[in-house]
Amino acid sequence: MKPSVLFVCLGNICRSPLAEVALRAEVRRLGLDLVVDSAGTGNWHAGEPPDDRAQAVALRHGADASGLRARQVVPADFARFTHIVAMDADNLANLRRLAPETATAELSLLLDHVPGRKGESVADPYFGDDAGFEVTWVDVTAGAKSLVERFRNGD
Ligand code: 4NP
Q: Which helix (H) or strand (E) holds 136?
A: helix 130-152
Any catalytic annotation for residue 77?
A: no
Any catalytic annotation for residue 112?
A: no
Q: Can you tell me the distance from the alpha carbon of 102 to that of 149, in angstroms, rounded to the nearest whole number?
A: 28
Ligand 1 close to Cβ of residue 29 (< 6 A) = no
pLDDT tens readout for residues 54-104: 999 999 999 999 999 999 999 999 999 999 999 999 999 999 999 999 999
Give residues with Cβ within 8 angstroms of 81, minimum separation 6: 4, 5, 6, 35, 37, 105
Give residues with Cβ within 8 angstroms of 138, minimum separation 6: none
Q: Can you tell me the distance from the alpha carbon of 37 to that of 56, in angstroms, rounded to the nearest whole number?
A: 20
Ligand 1 close to Cβ of residue 126 (< 6 A) = yes
Q: Can you tell me the distance from the alpha carbon of 78 to that of 46, in angstroms, rounded to the nearest whole number?
A: 19
Domain boundaries in the chain? 4-152
pLDDT tens readout for residues 32-60: 999 999 999 999 999 999 999 999 999 99
Residue 7 is predicted with a pLDDT of: 99
pLDDT tens readout for residues 109-148: 999 999 999 999 999 999 999 999 999 999 999 999 999 9
Q: Can you tell me the distance from the alpha carbon of 9 to that of 92, in angstroms, rounded to the nearest whole number?
A: 9
Ligand 1 binding pocket mutation candidate from 57, 85, 126 (most atoms within 8 A of CB): 126
pLDDT tens readout for residues 116-127: 999 999 999 999
What pTM does this model have? 0.98
* CATH class in words for 4-152: alpha beta
